[in-house]
A and B are shown apart, each in its own frame.
Chain A
């Protein structure tokens, strides 16, 4: 029995390391979950003279997708967002993060525009408020303006079907 002890200790250690392998150190849990979404007033991307306030969306469930034309992973998730927008399940708002206006507009023309409104955060200030550190990031915000979910990195079919869409439907039931 006492000779099995080292083997046992090794197995416990191996189990811990194995679990550690499945964790993603890039997924830093956001402290903003279940907190009010930071307020913003930002210019539209298409009509720069118009301003969108985050308060306009109070009373509905909405998604905020942070993207940029320089962001490669954004291209991966983009077709999914275009598809989601077509289903009209939820309005998606695009936060164009630290980007050039012209390249951003071209990018949307080329890959499709799923956004109800695109807004511009050219110096990344609103990005800091939302704790953005790796574009793309997607937030689900409820009717009271509370952040309910944050997806770090591109949305996938899996994350949409298993987490985001069920959550949105549930939030839409709430008054």
Chain B
């Protein structure tokens, strides 16, 4: 009798363990997309990846969690939905925050040094290298050796050969 009861208990415990194995998380809802419209979200992300968050200046607006970036992302989403083109949206932001929001600064007189400075430095460096090398070559003169010096050199070289033969 007691044995039978034990058997039932064991079976019950086994079933209980089986129940515990049911993956509850499997029943959770399907992940809801962050934005209602994935197309808009994609375009917004592409745009904001090249825009600087003005609050946390080394982060893009796409990456930043700052309130400022949240607002700008929302604004951009709204403008995309309102059928604004990408250049229009960029211009909207530049009008308000200046070129500083762009990670790619535009080419204009105030940024000439920024854009062409490295090229100028490179050309200057290359030029001075060439001048330096030319001058050095001129400094190296062909030294003519006297007969005595040549013989001495010959003797030294032969000595070396003899040494090796030994």
* A46-81 CB contacts (< 8 Å) to partner B: none
* CA–CA, A125 and B96, complex, Å: 12
* CA–CA, A154 and B164, complex, Å: 85
Residues of chain A lying within 8 A (CB to CB) of residue B72: 128
Residues of chain B lying within 8 A (CB to CB) of residue A131: 96-98
Question: Contact: B71 with A124, CB < 8 Å?
Answer: yes
Closest partner residue, chain B, to A129 (CB atom): B96
A93 touches B (CB below 8 Å): no
Question: Contact: A30 with B98, CB < 8 Å?
Answer: yes
Interface of A, secondary structure class, is loop
* CA–CA, A134 and B98, complex, Å: 15
* A120-160 CB contacts (< 8 Å) to partner B: 124-125, 127-131, 133-134
Instruction: With A128-B71, A128-B72, A128-B75 as known contacts, state yes or no: A134 contacts B54, CB within 8 Å.
Output: yes
B54 vs chain A, min Cβ distance (A) = 4
Chain B interface bracket (under 10, 10 to 19, 20 to 34, 35 or more): 10 to 19
Question: Contact: B54 with A32, CB < 8 Å?
Answer: no
A28 touches B (CB below 8 Å): yes
Scan B71-94; emit 1 where CB is below 8 A from any A CB, else 0: 110010000000000000000001
Question: Contact: A28 with B96, CB < 8 Å?
Answer: no
A6 touches B (CB below 8 Å): no
Question: Contact: A133 with B97, CB < 8 Å?
Answer: yes
A25 touches B (CB below 8 Å): yes
A29 touches B (CB below 8 Å): yes
Residues of chain A lying within 8 A (CB to CB) of residue B99: 31
Interface of B, secondary structure class, is helix
Closest partner residue, chain A, to B52 (CB atom): A28
* CA–CA, A125 and B72, complex, Å: 10
Question: Contact: B71 with A31, CB < 8 Å?
Answer: no
Question: Contact: A133 with B55, CB < 8 Å?
Answer: yes
Question: Contact: A25 with B68, CB < 8 Å?
Answer: no
Closest partner residue, chain A, to B97 (CB atom): A131
Instruction: With A124-B71, A128-B72, A128-B75 as known contacts, state yes or no: A133 contacts B98, CB within 8 Å.
Output: no
Residues of chain A lying within 8 A (CB to CB) of residue B54: 28, 133-134
B100 touches A (CB below 8 Å): yes
A positions within 8 Å CB-CB of B = 25-26, 28-32, 98, 124-125, 127-131, 133-134
Given contacts A128-B72, A129-B96, 14 further A-B contacts (CB under 8 A): A25-B57, A26-B57, A28-B97, A29-B98, A30-B98, A31-B94, A31-B95, A128-B71, A128-B75, A130-B96, A131-B96, A131-B97, A133-B54, A134-B55
* Pairs A–B under 8 Å by Cβ, sample size 5: A26-B57, A28-B54, A128-B71, A131-B97, A134-B55
